[in-house]
Every structure is written in C-alpha cells, then in structure tokens.
Structure 1
C-alpha cells in the first residue's frame, strides 16, 4: 500500500510520519516535492539551498520515486506531503495510484505556529486552499478520501489511528503510538529548523488547549482559511 498524507505545515504531519514508520513495515518519504517547489517558486525558506541540494528538483523524478520500487523493499510506503507544494507545475496524475488521506488542523493553530517560524506567511504558504483543491481532485479520480483531524488524534491517538487504519484497509498495530526519541533517518534536511520539539518526544502530545486569538494580518488569514478547513472538518473520521 502507498499512502499519500496531505496536510499543511505545523499540522502533526511529522508525528504521523513517525507513527507510520514505527510500524516496521512502512517506508516513509518526508515532503518529497519540497525542493521542486522551492526551485519553481523561488521562495526563500529556511535552509533553501540545502533543501534544493537534498532532493530532486524535477517533479517527474519525484513522481518516479513515489511510484517506483518501495525503499528498503518494505511492504508499504507512507508519503508525507504538503498541500502547498502542489503548485500547477507539479503533476497530479500519480495520485490515482495511491491511497490519499487528508490531515487537517484548525487554521488558528497553524497560523500561530507557522508564523513563529516564517515571518512572510501568506495564505498560499499554509495550504488550506490547496488542500480543498486536492480533495476535489481526488474525488474526481473516483476515490472518497479519508479526512482526519489532528485534534482528534491528540485527544485519543490509539482510537483514531486504529480507525484510520481500518478506513484505509491497513492492519492496526499499537507500535504506531510511540517512536524513538531524536527523529527519524528519513527526516528532511530541514529537520533542525522545524522538528526540534518533536525530536524530544516519543509519542503524541496530549490534547491542545484553547485556540490562539489572532489579530491583524494573522486574523485576516484565519478568515480566508477557515471555510476550507470547516468544509473538510465536516467530513472527518469520527473514530
């Protein structure tokens, strides 16, 4: 099985990659379109040069990796994708060959977290509009993709990951609830910038507190992103 997990930044996506990697039967890929995205857009993200040097910048090469032999000859292949990376230059036809899952998080939390790392944040950077577009694209392929909310996972990771596995036809194992401290060998080269707190963990954090109150530009981004989140939230897996 090849699983494409689609989310925006700061959305429990790396913890989910660690959970699937902990199964032992799952190869993982960490944001394989990131270098191609930076090369195409010219965006000045942290460690831009290092990211571009670490991955193919040709989207066709990325697709070949995602649809070719599974790394380490594992039975399954988990692919962590950022929705905002799928700009028009990126091919999408290959998505018909994978099981597509959409991981969502309330935009107030995403904006507060991402904004702390990247000052020049725009709506395009946080992936909510692209997530809606990709969801519609997958539906047009004839799939009914699973939607799962990060808040539900943090409230009860065992129940929600079991439900997710059942929904996509994958055997559940409690090994998914913990991972070694210090990160994963397949972390992207950008891990020192974005994954520092996660590298100190060995499992999912507990439930989040109240959502942050945003003001100014951040509040305007929230207003623009919220309808896209709410649309998918209504379709989320209930466990």
Structure 2
C-alpha cells in the first residue's frame, strides 16, 4: 500500500493591488499545485462596513461561503495535489482564530503604499486602513513570530526586479522545488478566478508573466496623504523581514 503524499498548504496574506493574482497564476502553472482565489472574501464582506463599496459584493456573498470558520476547515481539509496555494487578503482575517496558520506556510506579501494606494484608489476612491491591510499585516507578522508559526515576507518591487530569484527563494522557504513553468502563463483568465476578476484582474489577464517593474510617476492624490503616512512606517517594518 502506497504512503499518501503529504499536502503542503501555502497561505498567501497579501494587501490589495499587489502582485497576489500574478503569484496565483504563477503557482497555477505547477502540475503539483491547486490554487484558490480569496476564499475568505465573502466572510469579510459579511462582517465589514466595506460591503457597500466593494464591486460585485452581493454576487460574492451569494456565490461563496460566508462562514469564515467553514472556509478555514475547507482550507485545512482540501487535498488533490501535493501543493495547495490559497491566495488571501490579510484584511479578510477578521473575527477568526488564527491558530490554523500553524498548519501551513504563511506568505506575507506587501507593497510600497504610495504605489498601492495610487492603484487601489482607481477602484475604491476613499480607502481607509481597514481596506489596505498594512496594520493587519504587521499584527499578523508579530502573531506568527511569537507563536513560531512558519512565515516569509515578500515585497512586490523586489520580486518584480528579479522574479526568478525571488521565486526560487520563496520555493526554498516553502520547502518545495522551484518549477521554471512558474515564470510564464498564457494570457486570459484562470478557471479559478473569483467572480470579481473583471473589476480587478485586467492587467493580469493581458499578461504572460510577471510584468517588469516600472516606477509610478503620476502625482499622488492629496486626499490619500493621511492614509499613506499611516501605512508607510508599517510597510518599512514589513520590508525589514522581506526576502
């Protein structure tokens, strides 16, 4: 009788308008991997004041499991491939016990808040800290560190400047082999895309791999400066831990 292959669970904890979707597309190219797109989104919307201004919120609540504890049990019981990649937004982690994170590798994905806010505000015009996740990411990192749960921090700009090097390091930290197929994919959507993809994923759908990093030169909106000044010191703390 053959021995079952142990399942490696990777929990991505990203901020919005990061490279989280591109990372999901990257991992979907592995033959040993299944990916899942923001399984806690409906749980978050059902408990957050963000529900009225999130695109497709009612459809998300109809199509997805609203009970976060059931979603957690799903993530811990799902099988089918040696590697499972769960793309999540850190700010979706409200009203949940985080102890389940001990049962997987936790990947915190962050981005310079100036660039993130410029992008995010094009879809949600007046974001607050609870929308963008920096405070929650720092809280999460401290929780993982204190409890000695496995984690790694990835920073978007550093990743895009050398995707292969960063992917190799990430795979090593996750104790899985690097697969060169992760560097490219066909343009268009994935079957695993969430029902919100038409609002957020246009750039990824046009892409065939990680896009080259280019600095955003547009003027930063004055109304976003207070939030930027809240996010920046938290980002710098996260950056100190990054690959």
Q: The TM-score by the shorter chain falls in which range?
A: over 0.9
Residues 156-201 of structure 1, C-alpha deviations (whole Å, 9 max, x = no match): 1111101111122110011000112112111111001110121011
* Residue in 2 that maps onto 1:172: 178
Q: Quick one: distance in 1 between partners of 2:135 and 2:195? A: 26
2:47 maps to 1:40: yes
* Residue in 2 that maps onto 1:131: 137
Residues 47-93 of structure 1, C-alpha deviations (whole Å, 9 max, x = no match): 011111121001111011100032xx111100111011112x12312
Which one of 200, 204, 213 corresponds to residue 207 of structure 1?
Answer: 213
Q: Quick one: distance in 2 between partners of 1:99 and 1:13? A: 16
- Mapping for residues 10-29 of structure 1, pairs under 5 Å: 10-29=17-36
* Residue in 2 that maps onto 1:65: 74
Query: Contact between 1:5 and 1:81, CA under 8 Å: does it hold in 2?
Result: yes
Query: Contact between 2:102 and 2:150, CA under 8 Å: does it hold in 1?
Result: no
Q: Quick one: distance in 2 between partners of 1:225 and 1:31? A: 23
TM-score (ref. length: structure 2): 0.93
Q: Quick one: distance in 2 between partners of 1:49 and 1:210? A: 33
- Mapping for residues 187-202 of structure 1, pairs under 5 Å: 187-202=193-208
Unaligned 5+ runs, structure 1: none
Which one of 86, 90, 98 corresponds to residue 92 of structure 1?
Answer: 98
Q: Quick one: distance in 1 between partners of 2:68 and 2:230? A: 29
Aligned residue-pair number: 234
Q: Quick one: distance in 2 between partners of 1:21 and 1:188? A: 14
Q: Quick one: distance in 1 between partners of 2:226 and 2:100? A: 34
Q: Could you say what secondary structure the match of 1:197 adopts?
A: helix
2:17 maps to 1:6: no
TM-score (ref. length: structure 1): 0.94
2:141 maps to 1:143: no
RMSD: 1.3
Unaligned 5+ runs, structure 2: 1-7
